[in-house]
Structure 1
């Protein structure tokens, strides 16, 4: 149904999208790409009666259910080590988040969001959790779900199912709330904090959030001494209660081995553990993207103008093996000379490069393109 999609693109040096484009077939799409050589190209998740018309005249016919997962939204500790800013006037290296240049005082500061293997692996984890929700909780067949690498720091997941096309924004918001665990009441899943009501049996194989919370809570108990767990628990229950819980760790693991034993936990500890389990088990999707029934998505298997990487269409079964620093690198290896303001160390196509700072470097074209797209290098 390409003829029902809206297309749009940015050209090099242009800050306003050219959009409301209607194409009849793939040949017209290929001709458009050849003609304009876009920096970015997008298509609508929605289908329209008149894709070329202004928004109020398009006549909406439904839209795919779409999800965006971006490592930049995951609050990863690696960001502090590799994100930075660059002054576009004097080309000085600045700390991430700088609003003005400390060297020349200029306000034209570019924030550079770098990406590393840890960013990609964390984003993959969120995709797996999302797929579990879509297939397990909502019963969506895998054949109706597509997964694409964004070409930068994350992944796009789209559901093309006729049963879901006509969902309005409110319905899509309910789906995101379920996936994010927003307003989740543990008692509705059989996990009340009132000990008097423990009459239910629990299994790690239970469906939806009931089983998900049980499995995640068990993993959290196993990981009690990890800083990522201990620091959050201490904030919720205090150092004293945390130490008591830590002292019970081995006995809890034994009693929880076959099935969760919520009654073994004090009410306050139970509340805290469930709160952390919700944080761990949810998939960190972007609600705004999913609820926008007119959203434009990057066209799969085209270049992302922020990196020069391929926004590659993936097989979900091969997601674990996917390495964007190899599989999405499609530019040639021919050497290019660039003057680099700053580049963290990076492994791309199996070779390490950098770090570079205020230096002339001879690098493969695929790396030169990445640096140019990021605005941290100029051709020498």
Structure 2
């Protein structure tokens, strides 16, 4: 218990120093119309807070040192009131992309879950129900590795394509953030979308995820939006496809072999719109391939976040208690080169000794650490914070 108290006290101390010494509040339009909420180290949450300006917000963060800080995507007449009395004005359009919702090979290595009922443990993405007892509540430990963050980045890039090319939002209306954990937040600040209700936002979600998109019929496509995306995606898929890849999509092996043998001819016909006359490759085969392409080209967003017009989202530049990293804003055109393990870390020149239970190999800035197994090691603050926040170690006595 003593080591646990020491660990929490150390994390809170680092957070407190950050909010006093480095944190600069910014990026919250109409701050006086937002509700703020805070998870505290003492074990409870404060909600329905209002701040008139950035100075009030910074003073609160310095005095309270929250574990996590949030503000509403919504604008209210009375942010401090109970929910039914706040007076909803509108809400920004929010998207959350998290590696937790993206299947990757690496999650089988570093992510684990434990059923709260029977204590059965597994690796990878957490199931909806425990395979042993059908329990639905789990304790989950994830890890932000470079592979899963790259997967989240790729989904974010796809989302940006939808927002700019299909919906016509300009770069000045779109704000992008690294979440401080395993993903990215996209925020559209546009007067028209602020007025959308939950059902209208659900239509945007359905479009971006490809839900309900009817598979393109021969000679009946227009090269815009999803139609363009599906046709181009199908051609890209066929260019790289081999027999085994096509079988995994659900095609019979003899059909897959025929497609591979005639792929150049098939791609040429698809690009020209002449889908008829491809012997042995009928509508059902094309439909299976197109459905696969739609899954590849859709963006894996958290659908609940986008449709919630009262959602609390993480405060820009605040620290994430799951990692000790900060939620960091970046320009959309910077995402290809953005490095969370360099740009979102704090106090990189200080060290502390930590007893690490078990941690995979990881990187902070240009230095590699681990893997560690039951080892005492001196680490820079960002590496130590990641270990401690993930419950993978304790402060060494």
TM-score (ref. length: structure 1): 0.87
Equivalent residue, structure 1, for 2:156: 127
The alignment status of 1:238 with 2:252, answered yes or no, reads yes
Question: What is the Cα deviation at residue 201 of structure 1?
Answer: 7.1
Choose the corresponding residue for 2:355, options 310, 315, 339: 339
Counterparts of 1:86 and 1:185, CA distance in 2 = 39
Equivalent residue, structure 2, for 1:150: 179
- Larger deviation, residues 39-48 vs 79-88: 79-88
Equivalent residue, structure 1, for 2:8: none
Report how many aligned residue pairs link the two structures.
353
Equivalent residue, structure 1, for 2:93: 65
Question: What is the Cα deviation at residue 361 of structure 1?
Answer: 1.6
Equivalent residue, structure 2, for 1:91: none
Listed as ranges, the matches of 1:215-226 within 5 Å are 215-225=232-242
Q: Contact conserved, 2:243 with 2:260, CA < 8 A, in 1?
A: no
**Structure 2 gaps, min length 5:** 1-29, 131-136
Q: Contact conserved, 2:32 with 2:50, CA < 8 A, in 1?
A: yes
Q: Contact conserved, 2:353 with 2:377, CA < 8 A, in 1?
A: yes
Q: Contact conserved, 2:243 with 2:256, CA < 8 A, in 1?
A: no
The alignment partner of 1:357 has SS state of strand
Equivalent residue, structure 2, for 1:248: 262
Choose the corresponding residue for 1:41, options 63, 69, 74: 69
Question: What is the Cα deviation at residue 250 of structure 1?
Answer: 3.5
Counterparts of 1:87 and 1:180, CA distance in 2 = 30
Equivalent residue, structure 1, for 2:79: 51
TM-score (ref. length: structure 2): 0.83
Listed as ranges, the matches of 1:361-376 within 5 Å are 361-376=377-392
Q: Contact conserved, 2:177 with 2:327, CA < 8 A, in 1?
A: yes
Counterparts of 2:240 and 2:148, CA distance in 1 = 21
The alignment partner of 1:115 has SS state of coil
Equivalent residue, structure 2, for 1:302: 318
Q: Contact conserved, 2:96 with 2:185, CA < 8 A, in 1?
A: yes
**Structure 1 gaps, min length 5:** 89-93, 101-107
Counterparts of 1:219 and 1:50, CA distance in 2 = 51
Choose the corresponding residue for 1:3, options 24, 32, 57: 32
Choose the corresponding residue for 2:309, options 293, 298, 301: 293
Alpha-carbon RMSD: 2.5
The alignment status of 1:209 with 2:226, answered yes or no, reads yes
Question: What is the Cα deviation at residue 252 of structure 1?
Answer: 2.8
The one-character-per-residue Cα deviations of 1:320-367 (angstroms, maximum 9, x if unpaired) are 000101111123332211111110011221111110111212111110
Q: Contact conserved, 2:243 with 2:253, CA < 8 A, in 1?
A: no
Counterparts of 2:76 and 2:140, CA distance in 1 = 36
- Cα 1:109–1:288, aligned 2, differ >3 Å: closer, same or farther? closer
Equivalent residue, structure 1, for 2:196: 167
The alignment partner of 1:278 has SS state of helix
The alignment partner of 1:319 has SS state of helix
The one-character-per-residue Cα deviations of 1:244-297 (angstroms, maximum 9, x if unpaired) are 2222224334555x6455334421111011101110111111110000000000
The alignment status of 1:115 with 2:131, answered yes or no, reads no
The one-character-per-residue Cα deviations of 1:74-106 (angstroms, maximum 9, x if unpaired) are 111210022135899xxxxx6536999xxxxxx
Choose the corresponding residue for 2:365, options 339, 342, 349: 349
The alignment partner of 1:135 has SS state of helix
The one-character-per-residue Cα deviations of 1:122-180 (angstroms, maximum 9, x if unpaired) are 11111111111111111111111100000000000011101111100100000100111
Equivalent residue, structure 1, for 2:275: 262
The one-character-per-residue Cα deviations of 1:209-265 (angstroms, maximum 9, x if unpaired) are 1110011101110121286x43532x2x22222222222224334555x64553344
Question: What is the Cα deviation at residue 42 of structure 1?
Answer: 0.4
Q: Contact conserved, 1:262 with 1:270, CA < 8 A, in 2?
A: no
Counterparts of 1:317 and 1:173, CA distance in 2 = 27
